[in-house]
Amino acid sequence: MIRELTLLLEKTFPIPQRFRNRLPRDIAELSHLLTNQRGQRSLSYLTRPEYLSAYLHYFLPWNIYRLCILLPGLDLRLKEGSVIADIGCGPLTFACALWISRNDLHDTPVEINCIDRSGPALEAGKKLFNALSGAQSKWKINLLKKEIDFRKTNYLLKDNKKASLICAVNIFNEIYDRLAHTDTEALKQTAKNAAAILHNAVNENSQQADSSSILIIEPGVPRSGKFISLLRDELLKTGHHPISPCTHTSDCPFISRQKEKWCHFAYSTENAPKELIKLSVSAKLPKDRLVFSYLFTSNSGSSPDSGLLRVISDAFPLNEEKQARGLFGRYACSSLGLVLLKGNKNQMDKAASGSLIKAEIKTERDKKSGALTGEIK
């Protein structure tokens, strides 16, 4: 279904002729507003027709595609009557991606509270979701136009219903990107506030004994990785244990590291819709890879150390001398800390970014990174 998404977007949101030729330029302009010119962006930017069109035809499908890589592998544990709260949902990105990537949930009646400050984005997202799911969908979508103040920690969901799953995709970077990169304490406070809000949102009705999960997805840049590590630490204090990508509840090996190492995952775009790739090139924003950081937690009890390692980097030659012998490396996360995996190129190619592996961890440490070393079993 992901390959048909661009065609469905064209049909659902036909581009007025006056905007069609300038679409690549509008995409480029919006890209700047979402990144390096964030301070110049107004809260109502998606009320401008050209920017909403650019978002719907470019940023939305890429975000959906990225989520469709991640969601099939998560144990969401949704059942009849489950409530999902999507904070800062935009044009229902998560709901659409969940429908596309999880056919197994189509017959499960769930309720999704889609929360965002932009009315046009919410309405556009509902229109797209209806086009995807059809009139007989068993999912109930609630549009909630509201601003969430992350300076407060007492936010409540619609009707005080407990969320079985609360998610926030590309939301927190809008807050911590305004902080000085040297202000670690402010970043920690942001993570602490976020953890309190998320904890409250999934624990409003203590009489419900069902477990709840939290899913956070952020851009795969060093600042996001640092925030995710801090948020993980704060959520652990509230009883929410990391399920993925973490394979353990030990200290995050990236909590005290600087920007040269952070937890993130990269995936190829080779299976993305061709029309979307072509549009990216036209906007001079080519995408060879999709990179993101994420955290998925549960309050259903402590997650035991699985003994597995999570691969978190691309393969790279260890040095010129060893490259001649075909020795490559990848970084992985373990309960003992960061591990540098070593092996031949074929072994490293099989241990793709994001995969879970077994490895023999040695006491020897890599001189450059300080990481333990290991060999794939």
Q: What is the rounded average pLDDT of the residues 344-351?
A: 88
What is the pLDDT, as a whole number, of residue 36? 63
What is the pLDDT, as a whole number, of residue 208? 46
pLDDT greater at residue 321 or residue 242: 242
What is the pLDDT, as a whole number, of residue 92? 97
Distance CA 156, CA 198 (A): 10
What is the pLDDT, as a whole number, of residue 74? 94
User: Would you say residue 332 has pLDDT above 50?
Assistant: yes
Among the listed residues 230, 213, 256, the one whose alpha carbon sits nearest the alpha carbon of residue 176: 230
pLDDT greater at residue 228 or residue 36: 228
- Tell me which amino acid residue 317 is: P
Distance CA 238, CA 20 (A): 49
pLDDT bucket at 44, cuts 50 / 70 / 90 = low
Q: What is the rounded average pLDDT of the residues 98-119?
A: 94
| pLDDT, the chain, mean | 85
CA distances from 258 to 161, 263, 282 (A): 39, 11, 35
Sign, Cα dihedral of 68, 72, 74, 77:
positive
Most confidently modeled range among 129-143, 179-193, 245-259: 129-143
Q: Read off the pTM.
A: 0.90
Residues 6+ apart with CB under 8 A from 215: 74, 165, 166, 167, 168, 294, 295, 296
pLDDT bucket at 3, cuts 50 / 70 / 90 = confident
Q: Which residue ranges make up each domain of the chain?
A: 2-298, 309-376
User: Would you say residue 150 has pLDDT above 50?
Assistant: yes
Residue 74 CA, distance from chain mean position = 12
Distance CA 62, CA 213 (A): 25
For tokens 């990216």, the residue is 280
User: Would you say residue 4 has pLDDT above 60?
Assistant: yes
Q: What is the rounded average pLDDT of the residues 326-343?
A: 90
CATH 1.10.10.10 given to domain 2-298? no
